[in-house]
Amino acid sequence: MISDVATRLFIERGFENVPVDEVAREANVARKTVFNYFPRKEDLVFDREDEARAMVREALAHRGERSPLHAFQVLMRALVKQQHRLFTVHRAPIRFWRMVAESPALTARARELQVTFGEDLAAMLAEAAGRTPDDPHARLAAAMLMDTLVVAYRAALRAYREKRAPQVALVEVMRRGFAGVNAALKGTVYV
């Protein structure tokens, strides 16, 4: 997979030190092929966005009697429990996020993607609740959920580095964050 080759090279030598031509050569594809799949060099690193959106969209569309927030939270807990690659915490993600932190371009792209995903999440929550995409309660819920996930994952990475149980840290922060979201949105169609 092109992104796997790129990520390996970027981790080994730094994002700015590896040209797209080298990624293409190592992946045995043409440079044009790389850009057909990944419009920006940074997108070679962040290639899980569509998968995450699809899982959230699916969970909200097939939530049954669950509220939109509950459906989202059930999905996140299930992903943590099954140790889905979006929530894995071991040596490779530590190296991955160190690479991102050391690259201004990747740090900026990560923030951009987080904002975009938050906006998309707000629209998905609003749609699930029968509201307009600009509903302030949906936007508040999405912002709180995104922050919860980011803080929880950072806590898990820190726990791993400190030789503590990363899953325990992840679950604890998620639990508290979800409780906060639920309390803040109590009395709305989202809870």
Phi, psi dihedral angles at 40 (to 5 degrees): -125, 150
Residues 60 and 100 in one domain: yes
Domain count along the chain: 2
Is residue 190, in this structure, part of any structural domain at all? no
Residues 53 and 31 in one domain: no
Residues 123 and 153 in one domain: yes
> Can you give the pLDDT at residue 21?
97
Is residue 189, in this structure, part of any structural domain at all? no
Q: How far apart are CA 130 and CA 100, in angstroms?
A: 37
Residues 95 and 58 in one domain: yes
Q: Residue 41 gets which letter from DSSP?
A: G
Is residue 191, in this structure, part of any structural domain at all? no
Residues 71 and 159 in one domain: yes
The tens place of each residue's pLDDT in the chain, 191 residues long, gives: 999 999 999 999 999 999 999 999 999 999 999 999 999 999 999 998 899 999 999 999 999 999 999 999 999 999 999 999 899 999 899 999 999 999 999 999 999 999 999 999 999 999 999 999 999 999 999 999 999 999 999 999 999 999 999 999 999 999 999 999 999 999 999 99
Q: What is the CATH number of the domain that holds 91?
A: 1.10.357.10
> Can you give the pLDDT at residue 117?
97
Residues 33 and 114 in one domain: no
Residues 102 and 36 in one domain: no
Burial state string for 47-60 with b = 16 or more CB within 10 A and e = fewer than 16? beeeebeebbeebb
The domain of 155 spans 49-184
> Can you give the pLDDT at residue 138?
98
Is residue 19, in this structure, part of any structural domain at all? yes
Residues 32 and 115 in one domain: no
Residues 39 and 75 in one domain: no
Is residue 105, in this structure, part of any structural domain at all? yes
Is residue 86, in this structure, part of any structural domain at all? yes
Q: How far apart are CA 84 and CA 75, in angstroms?
A: 11
